[in-house]
A and B are shown apart, each in its own frame.
Chain A
Amino acid sequence: MQLLLTAILLPPLLGAILAGIFGTIIGRVASHRVTVLGVLISFICSCIIFKNFILDHQSTQNIIAYTWGTSGAFQFNVGFLIDNLTATMLMVVTSVSLLVHVYSIGYMRGDAGYQRFFSYISLFTFAMLMLITANNFFQLFFGWEAVGLVSYLLIGFWFTREPANFGSLKAFIVNRVSDVGFILGIGGVITLFGTVDFLPVLAQAPKVAASLPTISLFAGTSWSIITVICILLFIGAMGKSAQMPLHIWLPESMEGPTPISALIHAATMVTAGVYMVARLSPLYELSASALTFILVIGATTALFTGILGVVQNDIKRVIAYSTLSQLGYMVAALGASAFAAGIFHLVTHAAFKALLFLAAGSVILALHHEQDMRKMGGLRRYLPLTYSCFLVGALALAAIPPFSGFYSKDAIIEAVHLSTIHGASYAYVALMIGVFVTALYIFRAFFMTFHGSCSANSASQDNIRENGWVIWLPLVILAIASITIGMIVKHADALQLALHAFTSLPFWLAIAGIVTAWFCYVIRPAIPAMLANKFSWLYYILIKKYGFDDFNQIVFVRGTRALAQLLYNYGDQRLIDDGLVNGSGRLIQWISATLKRLQTGYIYNYALAMIIGVLALVLWQMLIA
């Protein structure tokens, strides 16, 4: 087992080091070969683990690799917890990573930072694998921060572009805001349980919760410490999994190369928060308040970020908002205690969203890095394969049976429907409307890109053609996965579930969304502009993304800088440095300058002083007498 884990974790790390440090020496081809090979080994070993755990039902394994550090009574280990959840995540991460590696050979061809790119994505794969295999909070945090770091580096991959640098810094800092919650959550865990290892914490949790431990955060209040910990940890998840109001970094992350949008910002890293809550599900089960919080946040994100996808014109941004919305679905599932459904959607989403991103990347590449959908249209004639793959992805996303997205989304909606905790009915309605919105925005993108007339001029039209096999092969594989995963997982019930869908509301909502998109963007293309005009206030709100960005920019970014400048100019410079420090110096100078006058060097001055002194002395003596 240990050997197998080593074979999963180390090859991507070694690949990253080789491509990163020796990339210029070994060259471009060797760099992508070594990283692809690393991930391939990792993938094959993950398949073995998947077989052992999911198919052969091996029992949970807890392995300690080495003791990172001990302090006081606490031991921090680098260790691994392998169970069905880990095995599933391993498959998702290594398979998508492998496909993205191959895809990148084509997508990044000709880029000056080719080796650096492969080094980064391999490093990312390593970090993500560390995250999902962790058996304790410390290592989870390590992986958590490491994936965030690589994400930062990849968003800012083209570091001479200002938007890329802005987006990467924003992503890092927003994630750090949520990490405050996460690290405090870990502090809470170690305070309450005295350990950071998952198994003992989860085993003790029910017993500890039974004693109703409380914490007083504000004078006179007392909260269940379990709830506090759950919510703090979930704040960490809100950053990584981009839940409102910490979702603002994800659209900006699209400044990075498209393959990493598929790998990091769709399939793997952004699902880390979902994974974490699922991993800690026994803990979350103990706090109904925390679950309600999660459910409401998830459902709100699912609906409202989905709506924003409808007004975007950049193909990658539409898919980015879609990712936000689908993450909302997963989180809502967690809130409804449907942890399995959440993870199920994570898996299917990884396939169809990676597919959509890579298909979009294929379009972008074919159009020589054009991302604006208004300048596309009619591409189905030029890119038939990409067209079909995108369609499969869109159908899966819109939850049309029997595509995989249908099964997982259906499970979530059903779970939220049955849930009885506070906020469940709100969540149910939000998710239902979300189904319509999802179908609307993704088919809007679909029709704008592939249908209608081609907006590119005829000279460049001749240049539009499908890319090489490294591009289309991953698309085809992901398309097959997007079609089949749902049916494979639900094998016996698949047919019945699909048939049942035709009598259920979500299905018809999704169909309605597709038809609306078709009507508005193919049949009557004038409608969207008219609606935007008529409801310009609403359109303005949506274009401004509900004002989150402006609010943050004004209040947090500018506010912090203004406060800092104030503290620096007045607190540090004027008051302390100039006032107290140099003030002391000036005071002493003034005193000595004053006293200096006594030392005039003229004898008559000194004589006068002596006479006054003697007189004063005599006077004093007389008064005493």
Chain B
Amino acid sequence: MTHFPILSLLIWLPILAAIVVLIIGDDAHANKIRVLTLVTTLLSLVLCAVLWAQFSLTTYQFQFVENLSWIPAYNINYALGIDGISLPMVVLTVITTLTVILASWHVVQKHVAQYLATFLLMQGMVIGVFCATDTILFYMFWEAMLIPIYINIGMWGAERRVYASIKFFIYTFAGSVVMLVAILYLRAHAGSFAILDFYNLRLTQGEQDLIFIAFLLAFSVKVPMWPVHTWLPDAHTEAPAGGSVVLAALMLKLGIYGFMRFSLPITPDASHALSWLMIALALIAIVYIGLVAIVQTDMKRLIAYSSIAHMGFAVLGTFMVYLIMSNVANTGYAQMSLEGAMVQMVSHAFSTGALFIGVGILYARIHSRLISDYSGVARVLPVFAVFMMIFSLSNVGMPGTSGFIGEFFVILSAFKANFWIAFLAALTLILGAAYTLWMYKRVFFGKVTSEAVANLKPIEPAEFIALAILAFFVIFIGVYPQPLLNVFHASIGHLLDISLVSKL
């Protein structure tokens, strides 16, 4: 290793900070703990800036590579590296953690150290998942990450937190175990645990199908895809605001990331053969879940369902490439489809994360998630209402916000796959507007009808900063996505190339 181990630092710095924070522990030092946590994430942000600046846009190869022998007997390595698919995710992780810490600044007053430590741990471990290029390392981070979020929901959640956290844990864990079997099988053939070695493996259709399904079980739960999605609304509703944000902004991305990192390149023929199933499930997520979201009475549940619908777009964009390529010779449309899925992930993290922070702000003041308990909030908190309008519009897919790009790319390329896929996907224009703006109307517009709303405390400076950071990204990406898209091009292009070559 010749260069500075920046990825390791990004992983272990927050974990180390978490340990320090836990050692300090006591709520008497709450402010010191908050500052320490904030400094840690700000340092991480600086590291991210360095990554972004040094990142080469012209190659699809892993960059900032680190490789240490870890368990030589089994050829397991501590191998890290990022490409154009993981870089945005790493940066996203840090920004999300930063906003969560800011948003909890005034709200969380009990067990501050423990609460913040769970987020620091998660930051390190999620970055670990995105950076690991050795599958055992990947798997370690993948599972370890569940512990802090499990504790976070179980400790700081609402009334049914225990039910929700156990459901979440068992659900995601059960899916992942099967993935481990697939990884071990691949190792037996490839001779190493390196992801890149798996890419070169020739596999029969039968093997590929089984491996694909094993990965699918792990990833589809995380996304989550219909019908394995019901843990998410429960987890989201019961989780504290920060937990919801991390769940939506980061955890859900791991599923799509897995599809792109494992399923497509390792089992291209199975991905091709089963793409009809994936497209069907994605369309169900978009239409069926979009409908279900309309009738939700609980704000967090509504946003949770909207998350599932939005992730449906990412799945659709990912697996539509095979259908597109069967209709057209050049890869332009397929690449737009995949990049649409990528942008959708990034954008969803900002806008949905922000919506959860917003609901958290309301919940901290009124202790209700029910839409019917609110009315006329815009009258009392006009600035907050403007922020929430921006995020709602991104959720609706309004051009000029980040939420537009992914949907736009996926719908445009879907036309090349099949008109009816494009049509069903485009229904999100109506459904998204219906559930988001109807909720907005009931919560923010109208007369102030309750004492509680009339006496809402204004938003705190830290909350304002968190919302402003997210609003900045939502609008900046919406107005000028080119810098973000440029990061994808080389890696997505390569991903497409290897995913379209048969391995039979």
Contact = CB atoms under 8 A, between A and B. Distances in A.
B335 A71 contact: yes
Interface in A116-139: 138
A69 B405 contact: yes
A79 to B, nearest CB: 14
A156 B378 CA distance: 12
Interface in B426-445: 426-427, 429-430, 433-434, 437-438, 441, 444-445
Contacts of B472: none
Contacts, number: 143
A396 B399 CA distance: 37
Instruction: Describe B's contact surface by its main secondary structure.
Output: helix
B422 interface: yes
Contacts of A70: 482, 485-486, 489
A100 B251 CA distance: 49
A93 to B, nearest CB: 19
Interface in B392-410: 393, 398-400, 404-405, 408-409
A553 to B, nearest CB: 14
A581 B168 CA distance: 11
Contact of B399 (A146, A180, A194, A580): A146
Contacts of B485: 69-71
Nearest to B477: A69
A121 to B, nearest CB: 17
A72 B227 contact: no
A130 to B, nearest CB: 10
B156 interface: no
B393 A581 contact: no
Given A162-B446, A572-B292, A177 B430 contact: yes
A187 B412 contact: yes
Contact of B227 (A168, A184, A580): A580
B385 to A, nearest CB: 9
Interface stretch (A206-214, A383-391, A405-413, A560-568): A560-568
B480 A68 contact: yes
Contacts of A156: 441, 445
Interface in B317-358: 330-336, 339-340
Nearest to A112: B379
Contacts of A149: 393, 398
Nearest to A127: B400
Interface residues of B, number: 61
Contacts of B430: 173, 176-177, 180
B429 A165 contact: no
Interface in B478-499: 479-482, 485-486, 489
Contact of A581 (B231, B422, B423): B231
Interface stretch (B70-78, B90-98, B413-421, B456-464): B413-421
Interface residues of A, number: 52
B167 interface: yes
Contact of B482 (A69, A74, A179, A564): A69
B88 interface: no
B192 interface: no
A561 B292 CA distance: 9
Interface in A566-599: 567-568, 571-572, 576-577, 580-581
A72 B291 CA distance: 32
Nearest to A158: B445
B438 A169 contact: yes
B230 A565 contact: no
Nearest to A21: B386
Contacts of A179: 429
A567 to B, nearest CB: 5
A71 B335 CA distance: 7
Given A156-B445, A165-B445, A72 B411 contact: no
A394 to B, nearest CB: 36
A560 B416 contact: no
Contacts of B167: 581
A145 B478 CA distance: 13
> Max chain A CB contacts within 10 Å: which of B227, B426, B429, B489?
B429
A183 B426 contact: yes
Contacts of B23: none
Nearest to B234: A577
A180 B409 contact: no
A563 B339 contact: no
A606 to B, nearest CB: 32
B295 interface: yes
Interface string A172-203: 11001101100110111011001000000000
A71 B291 contact: no
A180 B288 CA distance: 17
B240 interface: no
A215 B399 CA distance: 28
A190 B330 CA distance: 14
B423 to A, nearest CB: 6
A141 interface: yes
A183 B408 contact: yes
B339 A142 contact: no
B292 A567 contact: yes
> Max chain B CB contacts within 10 Å: which of A145, A156, A187, A577?
A187
A191 B339 contact: no
A100 to B, nearest CB: 23
A607 interface: no
Nearest to A581: B230
Contact of B295 (A146, A188, A564): A564
A184 B413 CA distance: 10
B429 A183 contact: yes
B422 A184 contact: yes
Nearest to B448: A160
B367 interface: no
B294 interface: yes
Interface in B217-267: 227, 230-231
A217 interface: yes
B32 to A, nearest CB: 35
A72 B426 contact: no
A568 B438 CA distance: 18
B412 A560 contact: no
A159 interface: yes
Contacts of A188: 415
Given A72-B334, A141-B408, A188-B415, 18 more contacts: A69-B405, A69-B485, A72-B332, A73-B333, A74-B332, A146-B399, A149-B393, A156-B445, A160-B376, A160-B445, A165-B445, A169-B438, A176-B430, A177-B430, A183-B408, A564-B291, A567-B288, A576-B230
29 contacts: A67-B482, A68-B480, A68-B481, A69-B485, A71-B409, A73-B333, A142-B399, A146-B399, A149-B393, A165-B446, A169-B437, A172-B437, A183-B408, A184-B415, A184-B419, A184-B422, A184-B423, A190-B412, A191-B333, A191-B415, A194-B332, A217-B420, A560-B291, A561-B294, A567-B288, A567-B291, A568-B296, A572-B292, A581-B231
Interface of B: 167, 171, 227, 230-231, 288, 291-292, 294-296, 330-336, 339-340, 376, 378-379, 393, 398-400, 404-405, 408-409, 411-416, 419-420, 422-423, 426-427, 429-430, 433-434, 437-438, 441, 444-447, 479-482, 485-486, 489
Interface of A: 66-74, 138, 141-142, 145-146, 149, 152, 156, 159-160, 162, 165, 168-169, 172-173, 176-177, 179-180, 183-184, 186-188, 190-191, 194, 215, 217, 560-561, 563-565, 567-568, 571-572, 576-577, 580-581
